[in-house]
Homo-oligomer: A and B are copies of this chain.
Amino acid sequence: MYELILAHIARHVTLDKQEQDAFCAALQHRKLRRRQYLLQEGDICRHDHFVIKGGLRQYEVDADGRENVMQFGFEDWWISDWYSMLTNTPTVYNIEALEDTEVLQIERIKLEQLFITMPKLERYMRIIMLNAFVALQRRVLFMQKPSAERYAEFLRRYAHVEQRVAQQHVASYLGITRETLSRLRSQMIKQRGEKL
A-B residue pairs in contact (CB < 8 Å), sample of 18: A62-B145, A68-B141, A70-B137, A70-B140, A70-B141, A82-B133, A83-B134, A83-B137, A86-B131, A86-B134, A122-B122, A122-B123, A122-B126, A126-B126, A129-B129, A129-B130, A133-B133, A140-B140
* CA of A122 to CA of B125, assembled, Å: 10
Closest to A120 in B: B119
Contact of A143 with B by CB under 8 A = yes
9 closest Cβ pairs, A-B complex: A119-B119, A129-B129, A126-B126, A143-B143, A136-B136, A83-B134, A144-B175, A133-B133, A68-B144
* CA of A136 to CA of B62, assembled, Å: 17
> Chain B contacts of A141 at CB under 8 A?
60, 62, 68, 70
B133 touches A132 (CB 8 A): yes
Q: Number of A residues contacting the other chain (C-beta, 8 Å)?
A: 29
Closest to A175 in B: B144
Instruction: Determine the main DSSP class of A at the interface with B.
Output: helix
Given contacts A70-B141, A129-B133, 19 further A-B contacts (CB under 8 A): A60-B141, A62-B141, A62-B144, A62-B145, A66-B144, A68-B144, A82-B133, A83-B134, A86-B130, A86-B134, A119-B119, A122-B122, A122-B126, A125-B126, A129-B130, A133-B136, A140-B143, A143-B175, A144-B175
Contact of A115 with B by CB under 8 A = yes
